Structure 1
Amino acid sequence: MDQAGREGEPDKRTLRREFLTVRGGLTPDDVREAATALARRALELPELAHARAVAAYVSVGSEPGTLALLDALRGRGVRVLLPVLLPDNDLDWGVYAGEGSLARVQHGGRMPLLEPSGERLGPDAVTGADAVLLPGLAVDSRGMRLGRGGGSYDRVLARLERAGADPALVVLLYDAEVVERVPKEPHDRPVHAVVTPSGVRRFRDAQRGAE
């Protein structure tokens, strides 16, 4: 039983619904304004300022917007890797070559994704990144991230660990999605920082793991 079950807190599924409902109420202007602020804050991170390669993702729907950040990183000469969803929910990777290099891809009944249309580099390409930008729905005071539940990024984090890679792990969220606690399971790993439109928060215990 996870921590949520022991303490009577909402489970992950319930929390996901709640955060997605709030995101669903955002207007296009809300999303646009947040994306501009998010890019500005993220670009101030030393981990990104000194990165040669960053694994990121293309936001869809009401997710915190990432395109402005991707373009800014690419403009700095950073090699930006973007995910390609595989049939088993694992992620392959390709290089971002500008918005025109993205293809709209429908995976079954899921929301369409924007994926790089160029060469596929293989799932292990992420191990060469200096920083990994992670999607999520919330993060707590320990740096524990609540994802959407597909398990794709759990695989990415496990792959990094197996390879002995130690990139900066950064989650991009809205301000209200930084909370006191989210449920934690044994396979969950903390991130090093969260970027929101209003600022950056670092997690001191991320390297050692959260209690």
Structure 2
Amino acid sequence: MDKVKLRSTIAAARAAIAEEERHAASIRIRDSLLDRPWVQMAGLVACYWSIGTEPATHGLVFALWKHGATVMLPVLRPDNDLDWAVYDGPGTLAPGRFGIMEPVDTRRGVDAIRTAALVIVPALAVDRSTGVRLGRGGGSYDRALARVGPNVPTVALLHEGELLDGVPGEPHDQPVRYAASPGGIVRVGAARTAG
């Protein structure tokens, strides 16, 4: 299946998930992540403010912040690359491009993600054997992930059934190391053999 068709199929499946089920799933993802020592110890976390039918990150971002982590959220630039700014509580967000909530803090630049100890990204699907993630097609997160160090945990958040065999990939696609869904956190791609 090509990327366009797969995106359409997953978008339709996500739209069919009841709001209560989506909310409960997001809580399970949040709690599963917060239970991991490598999440608890991450002093600087790059995350995102979820929209639409994505697994909700609002509670996760708030919990990370309340537990003392510095949380950076993306700010979409005109060239579709991602700048980063620090989240400093619920009142520090404002609608940005396309209405997506962004921090009002000073922009830290596209390279700020290099300093993150944990990176959490959106995805429509992840390939279990390669770690390739299917995004929305703009390439923003592939550019951001290309700046992340080789030992930094990168986690894509998914609904059940979105960890797949055979997600189509292209040379510019940047794999993630983990997929988190309501069923738990799974190592994917080359990282699977590393433990």
> What range describes the TM-score normalised by the shorter chain of this pair?
over 0.9
Displacement, 1:165?
A: 5.8
Q: Which residue of 1 aligns with 2:146?
A: 158
Displacement, 1:185?
A: 1.2
Q: Which residue of 2 aligns with 1:28?
A: 19
TM-score by length of 1: 0.86
The 5 Å alignment of 1:190-209 reads: 190-203=175-188, 205-206=190-191
Work out whether 1:86 is the aligned partner of 2:112: no
Q: Which residues of structure 1 form unaligned runs of 5+?
A: 1-9
The 5 Å alignment of 1:74-113 reads: 74-107=65-98, 112-113=99-100
Q: Which residue of 2 aligns with 1:61?
A: 52
Q: Distance in 1 between matches of 2:95 and 2:19?
A: 19
Instruction: Supply the AA of the counterpart residue of 1:151.
Output: G
Instruction: Supply the AA of the counterpart residue of 1:206.
Output: A
Q: Distance in 2 between matches of 1:158 and 1:106?
A: 23
Q: Distance in 1 between matches of 2:36 and 2:88?
A: 22
Instruction: Supply the AA of the counterpart residue of 2:94.
Output: A
Displacement, 1:17?
A: 0.7
Q: Is the 8 A contact 2:128 2:189 kept in 1?
A: no
Q: Is the 8 A contact 2:92 2:105 kept in 1?
A: yes
Q: Distance in 2 between matches of 1:157 and 1:204?
A: 15
What is the identity percentage for the equivalent residue pairs of Structure 1 and Structure 2? 44
Q: Which residue of 2 aligns with 1:73?
A: 64
Structure 1 segments (4+ residues) deviating >3 Å: none
Matched position secondary structure for 2:146: helix
Q: Is the 8 A contact 1:127 1:165 kept in 2?
A: no
- Correspondence for 1:51 among 30, 33, 42: 42
Displacement, 1:207?
A: 8.5
Larger Rg: 1
Structure 1 residues 77 and 122: CA distance shift in structure 2, 3 A: same
Matched position secondary structure for 1:170: strand
Deviations 1:113-134 (A, max 9, x none): 1111121111111110001001
Q: Which residue of 1 aligns with 2:121?
A: 134
Q: Which residues of structure 2 form unaligned runs of 5+?
A: none
Q: Which residue of 2 aligns with 1:123?
A: 110
Matched position secondary structure for 1:159: coil
Q: Distance in 2 between matches of 1:101 and 1:43?
A: 23
TM-score by length of 2: 0.92
Q: Is the 8 A contact 2:33 2:39 kept in 1?
A: yes
Displacement, 1:99?
A: 1.7
Q: Distance in 1 between matches of 2:53 and 2:189?
A: 29
